[in-house]
Chain A
Amino acid sequence: MRFSGKTVYITEAGSAVGEALARRFADEGAGLVLGDACPCLVKELEEKGVKVLNVHGSPVHYEEAEARLQEILKAFDRVDALVFNNNKAIKTSIEDLDRAVFDEQMNYNLKSAFVLTRTIGGHMATFGNGKLVFVSSIHDDKPTGSTPFYSVAKGGITMLNKEAALFYGRKGLQSNVIEMGALEGDDETFKSEFAGQYVYMNYRIPRKEPGKPEEIAGIAAFLASEDANFVNGASIRADGGFMLHYRFR
């Protein structure tokens, strides 16, 4: 039980990946702070004896992040790992961009990561250890042609991770990224009129099956564990080989 006695804060715990993360960390003994989890998941975990604090909204301002930390510290002694899992992609074009979409994508997917890194990272630094895990996307490198400001936010996450790996790395933390890709439904999420990446998605994955949320959760659990103490500032691509594809066989 790698996370016995430890507390893991998972954002966007209401998504399929978020739920898989929550179950995986719970199975390994962690207490959980869950961002916007389904009450049904909270009930399921509590019935297994897992201590859960369900919190609402993803902080995008410094004072909101600080308030979130204080809220957590009323229920738990400390946070041992932040698993930043905000992944909402909004379809738009750059040409016809509505500024509100820019703000929404950049705040939820990127600024929230920055403010939580500062606050939760700073909190963990006072103990001299802790983990930052960003569940990001292959679209920190590959354009979608459908959700440009999701990609821009993910490009920002890549650099946030590297900066945090240095700044908080000197304070005993490790920070890493999972570049998640080609999960069930991604071909609809990222469907583009001109970018062909998701056409026949499954055929572009050598095993011909999309990723499962549980497979992402396993990598996050590794990165948040002491097994990953020497992994810092890395981006681990978890896409089954999807990004390597260029011919159909």
Chain B
Amino acid sequence: MFDLTGKIAIVTGSGKGIGKGIARCLIKAGAKVCLNCVSNRAIAEETLKEMHALGGEDCAILVQADVSDYAQAENMVKTTVEKWGKLDILVNNAALQKNMDFDEFPEEFYDLLINTNLGGYTNMMRACLPYLKETKGSITMISSVHGKRPTDFDPVYAITKGGMHMLMREAAIEFANYGVRVNMILPAGVKIEFKSGNPASFKGPEKDLGIDHKLLFTKYHTYPLGRTGLPDDSGYLCVYLASQEAEHITGAAIRADGGSMLK
């Protein structure tokens, strides 16, 4: 069940974090994966070595590319197809957040987030579509519970995730004509080695509100299942969504959030 042997995948933003977990799960299921990073090449090279140790020398390649630039996105897709002859799976994962409120959000960061989180996902879908049509492949988008629930710390991140919900649905109905499925995974907080964004700007309360944070994070846990998310939570769901067994699943948005949205 859920066997991806012989399948070729691209996972954007997979040098680290959730994307790395997804790549690992796809490789464990038998797929070959094109890893992608935009800037942290050294970290991504380490990830590539880990993947080779896991699935052999031919199971993964690494392409450094900024998906917000269509030419770079297209080049990554071509590199993958030249290497393995086809493409079955796109996992759109490379996204940014900045953690700033409305009044402090620079316009250049607004544009950056739109161009990466929405423009980048669009670029990759368009660049992959000709090949996915041939294999009746699938696209899985990593979004966030913040496509439904506001962040209260990064309005533009949430805006891009709300837009992503509709990008997924529009792509799902358009690409259904070609037998290409499009789905979405919504993680909440995920424990990863290297946080992107701007952790320093995560602010505590501006004044003492008399709130017992320990109580909130223990008894009334943010995650009813009792732990923060892990990259593999999304990874295994990606394996399922890309598998033959998911052939009737398209336009779906599945939460992998430990129940956090129930709270």
Interface residues of A (CB under 8 A from B): 61-62, 93-95, 97, 99, 102, 106, 110-111, 114-115, 117-118, 121-122, 139-145, 148, 151-160, 162-168, 194-195, 233
Sample of 8 more A-B contacts, CB < 8 Å, known A143-B173, A195-B173: A94-B125, A99-B70, A140-B166, A152-B167, A154-B166, A159-B150, A159-B158, A194-B177
Judging by beta carbons under 8 Å apart, are A102 and B122 in contact?
A: yes
Judging by beta carbons under 8 Å apart, are B162 and A158 in contact?
A: yes
The residue that B122 contacts in the complex, of A94, A145, A151, A159, with Cβ under 8 A, is A94
Chain A residues with Cβ below 8 Å from B16 are: none
Judging by beta carbons under 8 Å apart, are B167 and A122 in contact?
A: no
Q: Does B129 contact A (CB under 8 A)?
A: yes
| Whole-angstrom distance between the Cβ of A126 and the nearest chain B Cβ | 12
Closest Cβ neighbor of A151 among chain B residues: B166
Q: Does B24 contact A (CB under 8 A)?
A: no
Contact A155/B150 with A95-B129, A143-B172 known, Cβ cut-off 8 Å: no
Contact A144/B170 with A61-B107, A167-B101 known, Cβ cut-off 8 Å: yes
Contact A155/B102 with A95-B126, A163-B159 known, Cβ cut-off 8 Å: no
| Whole-angstrom distance between the Cβ of A239 and the nearest chain B Cβ | 17
The residue that B162 contacts in the complex, of A122, A156, A164, with Cβ under 8 A, is A156
Contact A145/B170 with A94-B122, A164-B102 known, Cβ cut-off 8 Å: yes
| Whole-angstrom distance between the Cβ of A134 and the nearest chain B Cβ | 12
Chain B residues with Cβ below 8 Å from A99 are: 70
Q: Does B142 contact A (CB under 8 A)?
A: no
Closest Cβ neighbor of B107 among chain A residues: A62
Closest Cβ neighbor of B114 among chain A residues: A106
The residue that B166 contacts in the complex, of A95, A121, A152, with Cβ under 8 A, is A152
Chain B residues with Cβ below 8 Å from A233 are: 150
| Chain B residues within 8 Å of chain A by Cβ, number | 42
Chain B, residues 152-166, CB within 8 Å of chain A (1/0): the string is 100110111111111
Chain B, residues 93-134, CB within 8 Å of chain A (1/0): the string is 000000001110101001000100011001001100100000
Judging by beta carbons under 8 Å apart, are B171 and A153 in contact?
A: no
Judging by beta carbons under 8 Å apart, are B162 and A155 in contact?
A: yes
- Interface SS, A side: helix
Q: 8 A–B contact pairs at CB < 8 A?
A: A114-B155, A118-B103, A152-B167, A152-B170, A153-B163, A155-B166, A159-B163, A160-B158
Judging by beta carbons under 8 Å apart, are B114 and A111 in contact?
A: yes
Chain A residues with Cβ below 8 Å from B170 are: 94, 143-145, 148, 151-152
Contact A156/B173 with A102-B122, A111-B110 known, Cβ cut-off 8 Å: no
Q: Does B146 contact A (CB under 8 A)?
A: yes
| Whole-angstrom distance between the Cβ of B125 and the nearest chain A Cβ | 6
Judging by beta carbons under 8 Å apart, are A159 and B159 in contact?
A: yes
Q: Does B86 contact A (CB under 8 A)?
A: no
Chain A residues with Cβ below 8 Å from B174 are: 93-95, 145, 148, 194
| Whole-angstrom distance between the Cβ of A106 and the nearest chain B Cβ | 6
Judging by beta carbons under 8 Å apart, are A167 and B155 in contact?
A: yes
| Whole-angstrom distance between the Cβ of B34 and the nearest chain A Cβ | 21
Contact A151/B118 with A145-B174, A164-B155 known, Cβ cut-off 8 Å: no
Judging by beta carbons under 8 Å apart, are B102 and A121 in contact?
A: yes
| Whole-angstrom distance between the Cβ of B114 and the nearest chain A Cβ | 6
The residue that B150 contacts in the complex, of A61, A62, A162, with Cβ under 8 A, is A162
Chain A residues with Cβ below 8 Å from B159 are: 110, 114, 156, 159-160, 163
Closest Cβ neighbor of A158 among chain B residues: B162
CA distance A233 to B175 in the complex (A): 33
CA distance A142 to B149 in the complex (A): 18
Chain B residues with Cβ below 8 Å from A157 are: 162
Q: Does B169 contact A (CB under 8 A)?
A: yes
Judging by beta carbons under 8 Å apart, are A163 and B107 in contact?
A: no
Contact A152/B118 with A61-B107, A97-B126 known, Cβ cut-off 8 Å: yes
Chain B residues with Cβ below 8 Å from A114 are: 110, 155-156, 159
Chain B residues with Cβ below 8 Å from A141 are: 166
CA distance A141 to B156 in the complex (A): 19
| Whole-angstrom distance between the Cβ of A142 and the nearest chain B Cβ | 8
Q: Does B147 contact A (CB under 8 A)?
A: yes
Chain A residues with Cβ below 8 Å from B126 are: 94-95, 97
Judging by beta carbons under 8 Å apart, are B118 and A194 in contact?
A: no
Judging by beta carbons under 8 Å apart, are A167 and B163 in contact?
A: no
Q: Does B151 contact A (CB under 8 A)?
A: yes
Closest Cβ neighbor of A113 among chain B residues: B159
Chain A residues with Cβ below 8 Å from B169 are: 142-143, 151
CA distance A115 to B174 in the complex (A): 31
Top 10 closest A-B pairs, CB basis? A159-B162, A155-B166, A148-B170, A163-B155, A162-B150, A156-B163, A143-B169, A151-B166, A159-B158, A156-B159
